[in-house]
Copies of this chain bind each other. A is one copy, B any other.
Amino acid sequence: MKKKLLLQMDCNPHASVFDAVVAHDAGVDVLLQQSGITPDDVRDQIYGLMFTRGGDDLKNSAAFIGGSDVATGEAMLKAATGSFFGNVRVSVMLDSNGCNTTAAAAVAKLCGNDGLKGKKCVVLAGTGPVGKRAAGLMALEGADVVLTSRRMDRVNEACTEVNERFNVTIQGAEVATEEQAAAALDGAYAVLCAGAAGIQLISKDLWANHPTLKRLGDINAVPPLGIEDTKAHFDGETMNDKIVFGALGIGNLKMKVHRECIKRLFASNDKVFDAEEVYAVAKEML
């Protein structure tokens, strides 16, 4: 039985320790941690996996793509899958900056058992990697998605990207003021605060007595939190008849999903874990 070997290709000067620990805790036997990888480097490294083990043993070699820059990670994933020859391939997972596992966990929490089909979902400050993926996953669930940001040009760019990437149709809205936030949330069932650490996006006035909002999520763990007067450790707590998920509550599921995806890389040699596949795992693990 060959050792389970994971190649961690990271675009940062120093590869993520976080991703490395998760990989080992997910049962990887050998981790090859490589830093400063560019999309141009990927093919030769992937060849090193493809051409060293044959037949059924190939499933014991896999690749993980990480690092802070999600666009680079996406280009690396494309380079990796573009290197395969038919069945001579290895399983690969993309989770630059934790974007896929975080977005998947957040949307799975907001989706819950009731689903999002036909419901309005808002992603506040959604132009970052997590926000865009969350918006795409919500849209795939059948939600009517509104992605917001303080700047309309960024909103438009992000919506176009999400619509093309996920083959969906989401809407955008400029939200720079409390009034604009209220307008964006009008009629919404769920909201995800996908903004930067330490920035409040929804005041208690706005959410506590909101007539339609039922589920609220926040990926910001650093006070002030994205949703005023909630706690980062909330994991489905009910406040004012609304169900709230804080960053640590979402983070717990994210960790489980991350480990489970790594495990599944070694089930066969043809897995590709990007947003959709990671999300499917997150829903299973709810």
Contact = CB atoms under 8 A, between A and B. Distances in A.
Interface of A: 2-3, 5, 7, 13-22, 24-25, 30-37, 41, 44-49, 51-53, 61, 255
A13 B36 contact: yes
Contacts of A18: 47-48, 51-52
A35 B36 CA distance: 11
A interface, by DSSP: helix, strand, loop or mixed?
mixed
Nearest to A7: B17
A63 to B, nearest CB: 9
Given A5-B24, A49-B21, A52-B25, A14 B31 contact: no
Nearest to A33: B32
Contact of A21 (B15, B25, B48): B48
15 contacts: A3-B24, A3-B25, A7-B17, A14-B45, A15-B34, A16-B48, A17-B45, A17-B46, A17-B47, A17-B49, A20-B32, A25-B52, A25-B53, A34-B35, A52-B255
Given A14-B34, A14-B37, A18-B51, 4 more contacts: A7-B17, A14-B36, A21-B61, A52-B255
Contacts of A53: 21, 25
A225 to B, nearest CB: 16
Contacts of A33: 32
Contacts of A51: 18
B30 A5 contact: no
A25 B45 contact: no
